[in-house]
Structure 1
Amino acid sequence: MLSSELAGWDADKAFGFYESVRAVLPRARYPATPTCAPDLGPVAERYDVFVFDAFGVLNVGETPIKGARERIDQLRELGKSVFVMTNGASFSAEASMEKFRKFGFDFTENEIVSSRSATLSTIGSFGDLDGWHVITTERDDAADFGQLEPIGEVADDLDEAEGFLFLSSARWSEPKQAMLEASLMRRKRPVVVGNPDAVAPREYGLSLEPGYYGHRIAQRCGIDVAFHGKPFPSIYDVLESRISPDIQPSRVVMMGDTLHTDVLGAAACGWGSVLVASHGLFRGLGVESYITASGIVPDWIVPSI
């Protein structure tokens, strides 16, 4: 990512961006006030299924958060079901498992629900993806989506594409974004974003993610961009298909570091929510002012899980 693109991106700017696209996010109902707790201990008895965001909850960038593995083990010992729900769309199921193993976690493939899996579950609605281009990492061939072309480096290549699948911004830049927007203005085509996050917490600060670029395309090019991942419904459908139908939504709880993705998405499908305040988007900040300004209220606030 170019440093000039990241200049000025902090929690306030990210929050403002999410608020600016609020009209296209799901609607939800919230509690009047959140309950503060020192960790997940007081929360455990109230829920049967615990769903963890990755960035800002289990890890920050490539660094696992201290005590996260132990908390997962404690919940399992209590008989709770545990899942990870991540908007990281650049990893296949096998690669996701390997990534979490490196962090010290032992999640099974069934326990990892990614926005990539949500995108795969719905991409068939676009028919044959022949001629589509994909925006992803160098190591990801996106073969699970079919024979997609890596996005071109010149305008003529983009003009020939029949659609665009956006999985990662790791190799993306403002010049490439401008080139893509210009191509889409010349001829509107489908755009599918497999990671709705606008930013992600890293060791060095915030990175710009596909959700930011996807919302820009929707606003500037007049395209109904399809988003898959938190807070949009398809990823919750995938997770709910993996748990017992006897478990009521109110017995499922989401732990995350953002209001507009983690908390909003959980509330929209009737789950409980826990805002983790010390490691992700709001680390070092008072979250109460952001809750008041947005009206997005978690059920719980904890500094760390």
Structure 2
Amino acid sequence: MTDTHPTSYKGVIPTPTWAFRQYERIRRWLPDGLPAEQQPRPQALDNLAPLADQFQVFVFDAFGVLNAGPRAFPGAIERFRALQRMGKQVQILSNAATASQPRLVDKYRRMGFDITPDQLISSRWLLEQSLNGRVREGNWGVIAPEQSEPGTLPIHWHPVRPPVNGQLKRELDAYDGLVMLSSEGWNEEMQSALEASLSERPRPLEIANPDLVAPRGDCLTLEPGFFAHQAREASGVMPEFYGKPYAPAFRAVLERFVEVPPEQILMVGDTLHTDILGGQNAGMKTLLVTAEGSLQGMDIPDCIAQSGIAPDFIAPEI
């Protein structure tokens, strides 16, 4: 199946440097980090192996840590299995929202990660938990491709998909709220229609995936978080975000391991502004991986200095 996630916007092709600057630009809209005097001094490692005995629970980001698009990292599969053989608790904490929870579990099992549904927390699942817990009245527009199974959402929903025409604009204006699951197939014309509609009549905008970019093979794709912040700037509507770095994602992990102190949980990710920032705020220890993912090829000490977000450990891979 052809990947239709956007790889450019208004002539800009995302790179790790561009993405880092975008995260810094929206920093005020992210959770607060630790004060400078409380930031750890990162310890450089070759991989996760020296930490295997130090933590009870290992929480892995997906894209950039376990896989890039459909390609799983062989070393990540083996490390995951090795931790399981040691009796360690493992979790995947992913901002993925295009696929339903059962499909996402199946995806990672087919890649070679031996997980069960209770070992994966996705931002799609977090959104669905919120929708089940608080009723959203009226008709909602859902931005998602057909294969993402938006029918699993417990709301009265209608699809928001290209092309932009008079009917789509009228429908956008009539919805009581909007949910964005995926940026697949999204384009500048659709974004302009969304921004115009929200500017004319502000309504709730709920974003399942807060990521600005995602590594997919040899490129970065633009994700729902990027388009949500564009819409916020254009309309003044503050989106409601699910997933990292926001507290509900990490609270869901802590609730699964109530008998484990947060400092005995290691959050492993490739992005300072989502994985590391969110893990820190939850009281977890953090490991930044750098060989692939959002910071690939960048000066990591400089990124830490600029952002003021420092992981406890740094390694090229797990």
TM bucket, shorter chain: over 0.9
Structure 1 unaligned residues grouped into runs of 5+: none
Which amino acid is the alignment partner of residue 127 of structure 1? V
- What's the secondary structure of 1:134's corresponding residue? strand
- What's the secondary structure of 1:99's corresponding residue? helix
Take 2:54 and 2:281, find their aligned partners in 1: how far apart are those partners?
19
* 2:66 paired with 1:58: yes
Which amino acid is the alignment partner of residue 190 of structure 1? P
Which amino acid is the alignment partner of residue 297 of structure 2? G
Identity percentage over the alignment? 36
| Equivalent position of 1:149 in the other structure | 158
| Equivalent position of 1:82 in the other structure | 90
Take 1:22 and 1:52, find their aligned partners in 2: how far apart are those partners?
23
| Equivalent position of 2:248 in the other structure | 234
| Equivalent position of 1:265 in the other structure | 278
Match for 2:205 among 185, 188, 191? 191
* 2:17 paired with 1:17: no
TM-score of the two chains, using structure 2 as the length reference? 0.91
Take 2:45 and 2:7, find their aligned partners in 1: how far apart are those partners?
37
Does the Cα contact within 8 Å between 2:8 and 2:222 map onto a contact in 1? Answer: no
- What's the secondary structure of 2:256's corresponding residue? coil
Question: How far apart are residue 69 of structure 1 and its match?
Answer: 1.3
Structure 2 unaligned residues grouped into runs of 5+: none
| Equivalent position of 2:298 in the other structure | 285
Take 2:97 and 2:268, find their aligned partners in 1: how far apart are those partners?
19
RMSD between aligned residues: 1.5
Structure 1 segment 24-173 matched on structure 2, within 5 A = 24-29=29-34, 31-124=39-132, 127-146=135-154, 147-151=156-160, 153=164, 154-173=168-187
TM-score of the two chains, using structure 1 as the length reference? 0.95
- What's the secondary structure of 2:178's corresponding residue? strand
- What's the secondary structure of 1:139's corresponding residue? helix
- What's the secondary structure of 2:53's corresponding residue? helix
- Relative to structure 1, the CA distance from residue 76 to residue 137 in structure 2 (aligned partners, 3 Å threshold; closer, same or farther) is same
Question: How far apart are residue 133 of structure 1 and its match?
Answer: 0.6
Question: How far apart are residue 241 of structure 1 and its match?
Answer: 2.0
Question: How far apart are residue 3 of structure 1 and its match?
Answer: 5.3
Does the Cα contact within 8 Å between 1:117 and 1:235 map onto a contact in 2? Answer: no
Take 1:273 and 1:253, find their aligned partners in 2: how far apart are those partners?
5
Take 2:60 and 2:158, find their aligned partners in 1: how far apart are those partners?
33
Question: How far apart are residue 287 of structure 1 and its match?
Answer: 1.2
**4+ runs of 1 displaced by more than 6 Å?**
none
Figure out how many residues of one structure are paired with residues of the other and give that number: 304
Question: How far apart are residue 121 of structure 1 and its match?
Answer: 2.1
Question: How far apart are residue 126 of structure 1 and its match?
Answer: 5.5
Take 2:122 and 2:61, find their aligned partners in 1: how far apart are those partners?
10
- What's the secondary structure of 1:239's corresponding residue? helix
- What's the secondary structure of 1:168's corresponding residue? coil
- What's the secondary structure of 2:206's corresponding residue? strand
| Equivalent position of 1:303 in the other structure | 316
Question: How far apart are residue 4 of structure 1 and its match?
Answer: 4.4
